[in-house]
Structure 1
Amino acid sequence: MLRSLFIFVAAAFLSMPALASVSAEPVNHLNATSTLAGYLAVFIFAIAYLIVVLEEKLQLRKSKPVLVGAGLIWLLVGIVSTDHAATSAAFSKNFLDFSELMLFLLVAMTYISAMEERRVFEGLRAWMVQKGFGYKTLFWLTGILAFFISPVADNLTTALLMCAVVLKVAEGQKRFIAMCCINIVVAANAGGAFSPFGDITTLMVWQAGKVQFLEFFDLFLPAVVNFALPAIIMTFFIPKGKPDSITEKVELKRGARRIMALFLLTIVTAVCGHQFLGLPPVFGMMVGLGYLQFFGYFLRMSLPSSLAKKRTVAEEKHDQRQLSYLGSVIPFDVFKNVARAEWDTLLFFYGVVMCVGGLGYLGYLQLVSVVLFDGLGASWAAFGIGLISAVVDNIPVMFAVLEMNPEISHGHWLLVTLAAGVGGSLLSVGSAAGVALMGAARGHYTFMSHLRWTPVILLGYIASMLVHLWLGHALGVFDVYN
């Protein structure tokens, strides 16, 4: 009993398993959970993850401990294993799966960086700032925009954008800013749950083939409930009136709208390639990177003539400000946007993937799968996964589930995806969006300010799960109810 409890706690809360483009076939693993090497592997990862949690206090990048931990864990795997060919194949599989995810994310990050550099998000923020919305309108508008932008731009970028708007407009209104940030985190996480592009967890589920692209939209209504129910309750506590309007004008840089169109074309290419040709989504994203590179070449080559025309117009109008701006324009460089990607985050994913890939190969995830899905049942297991993701973070939790590859119905895969996507909203540290906003709105949005509204957010979480179960029953997408 004690051994089972140790395995469940250690693997469910500490092990963050490897990425899985998991096939339907069972994954071979070593039965080494009771060996010294097995215990050492869990201990090593627990220490590595503890260092990650203390990242801000230690001033140590989060990728460093997990990279070292991954190396040590696979060293132990190699020592325990008697079949080196099988061990090499297991490592290669995890590495290949991570490579697909990394390249997909790298292209998406490059496009987001390019749109930031072309001032797309700054332009949207300026538009909202100068409209002079009231407090309640601003609360709902930032939440709704976060909900609908995050399925395309990702929940982290969306949350930071909406937070910047609130900080600019409601300066000095500490309580209102905190409530808006909570609403934005919940909305961004909920919006990201019904799109493969909205969150890394949904992307992993899509790449693993557990849910097809259009099937993610079955989560739309539960996601709306998850966002809307807490927002409605919080509305009663929003102050009346409106902040002072601010005049701010932002001019988009040349090519901004066309880069947005190319990003949408890239998404279409990835989806169509996967849906109709059976190619992995990363295929379409890499083709999309080619789109951006060719367009960057066009922007560079046509820059002199474009500047000459604009300079002539500015000279005729004696617009010294415009002339000064034109003199500071630098050519668009796609590789600068590639360099601005979150490389520490990408390397952190590698460490997590390989660490828990090693733990999975040692046999821990198989035991956790038995405890969760066979012991509790698929529905309760999904509910628990959402709660765990609020503490551990939803990305490693989804890694774990995909590596376990439990035999559950299609509807339950959707339920797990929903739970992992929105469960992180329960705590400010439960999602990347929440952690980022604690930094962006430092002094206004804190762990405790979010915790005060956790019971309300929990109501939305439970309601969204029940709505999905009800829809699943009505549409008959669940094979088994647990």
Structure 2
Amino acid sequence: MAPLGIPIEFALFALTLLGVATLHHHALKVALGGALAVTLWRLTVSGFAGGAGLAGLAAHAAHEWVTLANLLGLLLGFAMLADHFDRSRLPQRLPHLLPDDWKGGFMLLVGVFVLSGFLDNIAAAMIGGTLASALFARRVHVGYLAAIVAASNAGGAGSVVGDTTTTMMWIAGASPLWVLEAYVGGAVALLFFGVIAARQQHDHQPIQKDDTPGVRVDAGRLAVVAFILAAAMGTNLWFNLNRPELLDRFPVIGAAVLLALLASAPWRAPAWSLLPGAFKGSVFLLALVWCASLMPVEKLPAASWPSALALGFVSSVFDNIPLTALAIRQDGYDWGFLAYAVGFGGSMMWFGSSAGVALASQFPEARSVLSWLRGGWHVAVGYVLGFAAMLVLLGWQPHPIDQRVAPPAAQGVPK
């Protein structure tokens, strides 16, 4: 059943996203209602890829539970990590290191961009948000929040350990050097949206000029932050190099973060009172990811630079993990372009990436779609400029992961 050729699942998902956009104070209820509606429709009418009825639902859940559990572990763990970082009081000792005008805000975005290449982009965004809250007296412009998310996503797009999507490409056989070229687009985008967002923030609330007097840094909490980050990075790298097949069977990275948090608790106890709020934000994202996983998308357009560009915009409202899985199955992409598109594209909406949802849990004012689009318009323009720069400087050069597949002819601008 598909009125006007549009499957009912897409219509239900579109209504869910519209409800999230217009009823942001009730976003969790809308997301859960949408997830329930799509699930019931697939259960009773259209069926699942793995079969019809409860058996099909169980097969689908068995396939998706690792992704959902990993996200839950990362969102909860990094919420606690951000609080540890804030309570270390290091942010109050940083103002003297940054310029006193708008360039201080821009340098902070550059730091988030660089940090995300080594860490998970959720962690980079939440650390960036914690720093911004301290440096700008907790008055952070929504456009600057959008820029923090964009910087974290752009910084992770060029690294096979910086984003779940690039890690998926690496596991499938893409060379890390293919993905690295996404930094060309990311750097150009950052120069554009970063300067504008930093000026927005400076006009809204200038950066703190001097260190907070009398503040002593809690080195123990900084050690806990480093320990949790090391657990996440080390687990990700070890399993990718040694047992990549287990990444699809068990949420090892999310579990590693939570175990590191629990192991360090006797030394520096986290603020457990933050968990209910972090859990609520996590459930919201998981509901949207579950909805996206139920969409009847079995095929993407032919691999080309226009389709890769479009996937970036789709990623702002559609989970980029199933999109990336479909692209890997289809093959024939220029993986640097795809990494930039699906990694950075979600920044255009606050709920378009896990980093955005995580940051919105710290700053509830970011949950208004209209405010995000109005204040963070520069992120969408920066995305297009970065993509254009990659076309001009690098050209569309597809690299089939499956070497038995002949690469399609390069389209658009030659290298």
**TM-score after normalising by structure 2:** 0.72
Give the superposition deviation at 1:223: 1.6
Give the superposition deviation at 1:143: 1.1
Matched, 1:245 2:210: yes
1:373 matched residue in structure 2: 301
1:426–1:458 CA contact under 8 A, matched in 2: yes
**Change beyond 3 A, Cα 1:224–1:270:** same
1:159–1:188 CA contact under 8 A, matched in 2: yes
Give the superposition deviation at 1:373: 1.3
Tell me the secondary structure at the aligned position of residue 123 of structure 1: coil
CA deviations on 1:247-295 (whole Å, 9 max, x unpaired) are: 1525326364155135314422322222233333356426735862773
> Aligned to 1:226, which of 170, 189, 203?
189
Give the superposition deviation at 1:182: 5.1
2:155 matched residue in structure 1: 191
* C-alpha distance in 1 between matches for 2:231 and 2:16: 40
2:234 matched residue in structure 1: 268
- Number of equivalent positions: 395
Give the superposition deviation at 1:109: 3.4
Tell me the secondary structure at the aligned position of residue 152 of structure 2: helix
1:136 matched residue in structure 2: 102
1:211–1:410 CA contact under 8 A, matched in 2: no
1:44–1:73 CA contact under 8 A, matched in 2: no
Give the superposition deviation at 1:115: 2.7
**Change beyond 3 A, Cα 1:43–1:397:** same
2:341 matched residue in structure 1: 419
After TM superposition, the structure 1 = structure 2 runs for residues 425-464 of structure 1, keeping only pairs within 5 Å, are: 425-426=347-348, 436=359, 440=363, 442=365, 447=370, 451=374, 454=377, 457-458=379-380, 460-464=382-386
Larger radius of gyration: 1
Greater RCO structure (CA 8 Å; 6+ sep)? 1
1:407 matched residue in structure 2: 330
* C-alpha distance in 2 between matches for 1:342 and 1:44: 26
Matched, 1:74 2:2: no
Give the superposition deviation at 1:465: 1.9
1:155–1:189 CA contact under 8 A, matched in 2: yes
2:269 matched residue in structure 1: 332
CA deviations on 1:145-194 (whole Å, 9 max, x unpaired) are: 121233455445544543454454455998xx566445434322311323
Tell me the secondary structure at the aligned position of residue 270 of structure 1: helix
**Change beyond 3 A, Cα 1:186–1:408:** same
2:404 matched residue in structure 1: none
**TM-score after normalising by structure 1:** 0.64
* C-alpha distance in 1 between matches for 2:99 and 2:50: 64
Decide which moves more: 467-476 or 103-112.
467-476
Q: Gapped runs of 5+ residues in structure 1?
A: 11-37, 304-330
1:169–1:246 CA contact under 8 A, matched in 2: no
The letter of the residue matching 2:102 is K
Give the superposition deviation at 1:383: 0.9
Tell me the secondary structure at the aligned position of residue 373 of structure 1: coil
**Change beyond 3 A, Cα 1:345–1:277:** same
The letter of the residue matching 1:388 is V
**Change beyond 3 A, Cα 1:53–1:357:** same
1:278 matched residue in structure 2: 244
Give the superposition deviation at 1:95: 1.6
After TM superposition, the structure 1 = structure 2 runs for residues 346-365 of structure 1, keeping only pairs within 5 Å, are: 346-360=282-296, 365=297
Q: Gapped runs of 5+ residues in structure 2?
A: 401-406
* C-alpha distance in 1 between matches for 2:133 and 2:67: 33
Matched, 1:477 2:399: yes
Q: Percent identity?
A: 15
